Amino acid sequence: MDRRESAASFRDPSGSVYYEGDVLYRRINNCYKDDYALFLDSGLYDDLVSAGLLISHIEVKKEAESSYKIIRPELVPFISYPYEWCFSQLKEAALLTLKIQRLALRRGMSLKDCSLYNIQFLGSKPVFIDTLSFEKHIDNRPWIAYGQFCRHFLGPLALMGMVDIRLGQLLKSYIDGLPLDLATSLLPYSGRFNIGLLLHIYMHSKAQKYSPDASFVDNKTKNRKFGIDSFYGLIDNLESTIQGIKWKPLKTSWADYYSKKESYSSQGVEHKKKIVEGMIGEVSPRLVCSLGANTGLFSRIFSSRGIYTISSDFDPVCVEGNYLYVLEYKEKDILPLLLDVVNPSPGIGWEGEERDSFIERGPFDLVTALALIHHLAISNNLPLRKISSFLKNISRTLIIEFVPKDDEMVKAMLILRKDIFEDYTQDNFEREFAKDFFIDQTVKVSDSKRVLYLMRRRG
């Protein structure tokens, strides 16, 4: 079977990741042999897996080449990235990392890196995926990954909570975390009065400006120690600092979209749900992506049936509300993500391949685009041809709602602008989409002018 090396796995010499078909393997190199043995023998692996904090794996075979072992980790249904997470998802990921570090210390180990990309979500739960991130803790040595933790977690969270939630998008530009001097320049002056931020962001940023000079070498400095109490103190302080960062979302026009009843009557919403429920049986999807999902009302039609559903929206307030609901009800099969359909996550990192673009992470068995097309076509001037072509790239089947020009919402959108959308008609919509999809079902939503379609990708 063809082997494909992961483009995201090359920095850590301890091992690397590759795929055979859809199966993921992690190669452990000989240089990691002792740490891997300690990881298992110390009981840390069992601690973490039994608590659901780390992805489990099985050892599968020994390669002919020079690697030490090959393991097959449990697969995550969908890989998401930090710039697609809402505030609370990032916060949960940070707290998970600190919890793991504390457990590791108790077993004589420590995290040697603290990348945001070591975390993935299984519905409500963040889970650590990098089995090779643990090393033997050397007594009196500071945390090697402290700087990375502050850049990856603390800085972005502080900016999102205290300045503007949209600053989380900076993580797209800084793949190795937010530079601390940038964080200090963006944070409000009052941030200095928070002891955690003062230590881990402001002083940390200042300290990073010093660089070693050979003329100051002195053996006395070797006597400085970072004892285990200090280490636990550091973890505790980082944890309480992160717990203390809050974000209170402002109301947006999207967050209470369905409760305002501007677009639908209660009868219309119920009928729309029934139509979607009926269409699921025709498709039997395993992985669904709901675009413009708002707070996930329709995404839950799928997830409540055990179908893993990406519930995406471009509004951080909606995604936060959706995730808080997921957390409250401990939902396993729905993953709220921040995604702007008109500017989906690009490929980033080395050669633009280290982190896959949103489109490369598809296609999905089913994509839903409910009450979305008019925002794409009219608010964003996207031609129907381009919309159809994009959806064909990411979906095997599609449930899409057409919202005609005489719909109240579209009328409101056109009230202050010239109607340049002559091609935006139901006939043209069907004609353009029929080039990429077979149209299997067409159902009109009652008490509304909208129409739902079930389509199957051609080719």
Partner 1 sequence: MRLKNGLKIVLLLISFSLVFTSNAYAYLDPGTGSYFLQLLIAGLLGALFFIKTFWRGILRAVKDVFLKLFNPVKKD
**What tokens does 178 get?**
């937010």
Residue 368 binds to partner 1 (criterion: CB under 8 A): no
Residue 383 binds to partner 1 (criterion: CB under 8 A): no
69-73 β-sheet, strand order:
3-5, 15-20, 23-28, 69-73, 57-61
Single out the residue of 148, 311, 345, 368 in contact with partner 1 (rule: CB under 8 A): 148
**Minimal distance in Å, beta carbon 359 to partner 1?**
31
Residue 243 binds to partner 1 (criterion: CB under 8 A): no
Please state the length of the chain: 459
- Give the binding range for partner 1 (CB under 8 A) out of 44-52, 141-149, 248-256, 394-402: 141-149
Dihedral sign for Cα atoms in the order 349, 353, 357, 362 = negative
Contact 302, 283 (CB under 8 A): no
CA distance 59 to 61: 6
Q: Which of 372, 377, 389 is nearest to 420 (CA)?
A: 377
Contact 330, 370 (CB under 8 A): no
Contact 319, 254 (CB under 8 A): no
Residue 144 binds to partner 1 (criterion: CB under 8 A): yes
Contact 442, 429 (CB under 8 A): no
- Give the binding range for partner 1 (CB under 8 A) out of 7-15, 62-70, 297-305, 406-414: 7-15
Residue 287 binds to partner 1 (criterion: CB under 8 A): no
Q: Which is nearer to partner 1, 1 or 214 (CB)?
A: 214
Q: Which is nearer to partner 1, 105 or 455 (CB)?
A: 105
**What tokens does 394 get?**
């990411």
Which residue's entry shows tokens 């708002």?
Answer: 294
Q: Write the binding mask 389 to 428 for partner 1: x where contact by CB under 8 A, - elsewhere.
A: ----------------------------------------
Q: Using CB atoms within 10 A of its CB, is residue 410 exposed (0-12), middle (13-18) or buried (19+)?
A: buried
Residue 145 binds to partner 1 (criterion: CB under 8 A): yes
Q: Which is nearer to partner 1, 190 or 219 (CB)?
A: 219
Residue 14 binds to partner 1 (criterion: CB under 8 A): yes
Residue 193 binds to partner 1 (criterion: CB under 8 A): no
Q: Which of 18, 44, 16 is nearest to 30 (CA)?
A: 16
Could you tell me the CA-to-CA distances from 428 to 15, 205, 433 in Å, in that order?
Answer: 53, 56, 8
Residue 113 binds to partner 1 (criterion: CB under 8 A): yes
Residue 60 binds to partner 1 (criterion: CB under 8 A): no
**Minimal distance in Å, beta carbon 65 to partner 1?**
20
Residue 208 binds to partner 1 (criterion: CB under 8 A): yes
Single out the residue of 4, 225, 444, 458 in contact with partner 1 (rule: CB under 8 A): 225
Contact 247, 359 (CB under 8 A): no
Residue 232 binds to partner 1 (criterion: CB under 8 A): yes
Contact residues toward partner 1 (CB under 8 A) are 11-14, 112-113, 135, 138, 141-148, 150, 199, 203-204, 206-214, 216-222, 224-227, 229-230, 232-234, 236-237
